[in-house]
Amino acid sequence: MTPTALIADDEPRLREELADLLACAWPGLRVVALVRNGREAVERFESLQPTVCFLDVQMPGMSGVEAAHHIGRRAHLVFVTAFEHYAVQAFERGALDYLVKPVQPLRLADTVSRLRERIDAVAPVHHTEELLRQLAHQLQRSGRPPGLRWLRAQVGAALRLIPVDRIDYLRADSKYTVVAWRNDEGAVSEAVVSVPLKDLLAQLDPGQFVQVHRSAIVNLGSISHVVRGANETADIHLKGRSEVLRASRNFTYHFKQMQ
């Protein structure tokens, strides 16, 4: 039976590059799906049942590690990461394989060799839920730089130093990011920074701030309540603010407990 593969990465160019590299390193492999996030990876996996899944560790919405939890032991997993230090104990033991971006042909050849041996030997998939939990914990601890504590932002004609814990949400606006925050008196205010939303997300504490839309990040502590919307979306109501943020279907998993 011809082995098949799924590639999940939020960067289209990187998806295509990995597919091209695999065509050279493993001519007998058929890539059956190129997807942009973990949610799509899980959906396409269920319909196509590929032999191998190449999952980018960090993707908007559902991450590669979260997608791996859904896929479980039904496929061989290879994690793709931009950070060398993601090679944690689970990788080093050979139970989970990984590639570092930009993917090098020699490293990919080693990975392909191991995968082919396992497939030809009809070897069981090695990874376990416990290893995936360890990986998720390790990535949360070491996968991001220290969280931001202050944000320099333009408020009118003044440059303000805003404490991150006073930020209610951030919203992408053209080339800028709008910061919705509260001043020393607790009054709501807005400021503008030139840092892209994606770059800010990488620096914020994931236990405090979550992405709820491709153009919005919210402080979990600022949420009053969440109301389920149509088409698997949700409306996020904030404490002391009239704005209602929309959580798109790729991000409503943050609010699984909502009524």
Cα of first residue to Cα of last residue in the chain, in angstroms, is 45
The answer, yes or no, to whether residue 242 has pLDDT greater than 50, is yes
Strands 158-163 and 209-213 turn out to be unpaired
pTM of the model: 0.55
The β-bridge relationship of strands 158-163 and 52-56 is unpaired
Q: What is the mean pLDDT of residues 4-27?
A: 94
What is the signed CA dihedral for 140, 132, 57, 110, rounded to 10 degrees?
130
Res 144: pLDDT: 47
pLDDT computed for residue 145 by the predictor: 47
* pLDDT at residue 41, rounded to an integer: 95
The string of pLDDT tens digits covering residues 148-180 is 788 888 777 777 889 999 999 999 987 889 999
Three-state SS letters, the chain? CCCEEEEECCCHHHHHHHHHHHHHHCCCCEEEEEECCHHHHHHHHHHHCCCEEEEECCCCCCCHHHHHHHHHHHCEEEEEECCHHHCCHHHHCCCCEEEECCCCHHHHHHHHHHHHHHHHCCCCCCCCHHHHHHHHHHHHHHCCCCCCCEEEEEECCEEEEEEHHHEEEEEEECCEEEEEEECCCCCEEEEEECCCHHHHHHHCCCCCEEEEECCEEEEHHHEEEEEECHHHCEEEEECCCCCEEEECCCCHHHHCCCC
- pLDDT category, 138, cuts 50, 70, 90? low
Tell the residue number behind the tokens 């998720």, with chain if given.
136
With a cut of 80, say whether residue 132 has pLDDT above it: no
Predicted confidence at residue 157, as pLDDT, reads: 77
Quote the pLDDT of residue 259: 44
Residue 4 pLDDT more than 90?
yes
pLDDT of 116 over the 50 cut: yes
The pLDDT confidence band at residue 258, using thresholds 50, 70 and 90, is low
- Pairing of the two strands 4-8 and 52-56: parallel
- The pLDDT assigned to 255 comes to 78
CB 132 within 8 A of CB 113: no
pLDDT at 44 over 90: yes
Band (pLDDT 50/70/90 cuts) for residue 92 is: low
Return d(Cα 103, Cα 18) in angstroms, integer. 7
Band of pLDDT at residue 230, cut at 50, 70 and 90: confident
Per-residue pLDDT at 94 exceeds 60? no
pLDDT (mean) for 43-67: 90
pLDDT of residue 81: 81
